[in-house]
Amino acid sequence: ASSAGLFGFGKLTDYCSSKFAAIGLHESLTGELKQMKKHGIYTTVVCPSFINTGMFHGVSPSAAVVPLLDENYVCDSIVDGIRRNKRMIILPPHNVLFYMLKGLLSDECADRFIEFTGAAKAMDTFVGQK
């Protein structure tokens, strides 16, 4: 999936909605496996923010809040999470806090928070992979 499946962003409607769907599929599949008592089968969904692969060329994330992630760091985190049977891997880790806050804040506060972090404008300079 992606962090875009945890937070909806303008200029990414189609991308975010597909990632929200991937997270929902993961939750449903995990629940089904549990109900079927399929012990020993684990599922992991991965929700990284922007990865430095060229896919998001031109994106201008706020370095502190939405850093461009190193692909080796992401790979290592995924392998570690799978080995520990983590259900969800959110990268960078501080996005877990943002995800939790999103559910606690009013819509107006959440919108202001996104504006404050600069995340709402990250796609303004996006040109894509060349």
The ranges assigned to domains in the chain are 3-121
Q: Which residues contact 90 (CB under 8 A, 6 or more apart)?
A: 3, 6, 47, 48, 96, 99
Backbone phi, psi, residue 105, to 5°? -85, 155
- DSSP conformational letter for 51: B
- DSSP conformational letter for 125: T
- The CATH T-level fold of domain 3-121 is Rossmann fold (3.40.50)
Known catalytic residue at 42? no
Cα diameter, the chain: 48
pLDDT in tens, the chain (130 residues): 999 999 888 888 999 999 999 999 999 999 999 999 999 999 999 999 989 888 877 777 665 567 889 999 999 999 999 999 999 999 999 999 989 998 899 999 988 888 887 777 777 777 877 6
Tokens 């799978």 belong to which residue?
Answer: 82
Q: Among residues 15, 42, 73, 99, which one is catalytic? A: 15
